[in-house]
Structure 1
């Protein structure tokens, strides 16, 4: 099963996931990225909306290639 890494772009830098998660397919990767973004948005619910525009989950595969970016602003809007 492929391993994917869910890095957090916080607007000032990239907090890298050095452990990763084994997932079967791109659909599972997308679901996990949305879950991580929602959980972090809930922790940072007092952030001004403009700050969320700078934040995202960046998913990379084992070779380091970015395969998906989920902006926090999209997750926050969907949850409203």
Structure 2
């Protein structure tokens, strides 16, 4: 099973990236995207709002074991396009 790393981009520039040193084993990139969205939702719900003013500037930059960038998952993707 491939290992994916979920680096948290919280502002532009190299100082704005929290590096995931551990990663997670997931079946494929679709599962990695769903995992990133679930973690983003949980992070938004658990964290005090005064720590991060705008979660929508945050994103997970997903890489593989070789460090290749595979996908960026913006926290804004946690909000559905249409509200029922």
TM-score w.r.t. length of structure 1: 0.79
Q: Which runs of 4+ in 1 moved over 4 A?
A: none
Q: Deviations over 1:2-22 (max 9, x none)?
A: 111011111251101100111
Gap regions ≥5 residues in structure 2: none
> Residue 43 of structure 1: which of 37, 46, 49 is its match?
46
For 1:1-80, list aligned pairs within 5 A: 1-11=1-11, 13-44=16-47, 46=49, 47-48=52-53, 51-75=54-78, 77-78=79-80
Larger proportion of helix: 1
Gap regions ≥5 residues in structure 1: none
Query: Alignment length, in residue pairs?
Result: 76
TM-score w.r.t. length of structure 2: 0.76
Q: Which has the larger radius of gyration?
A: 2
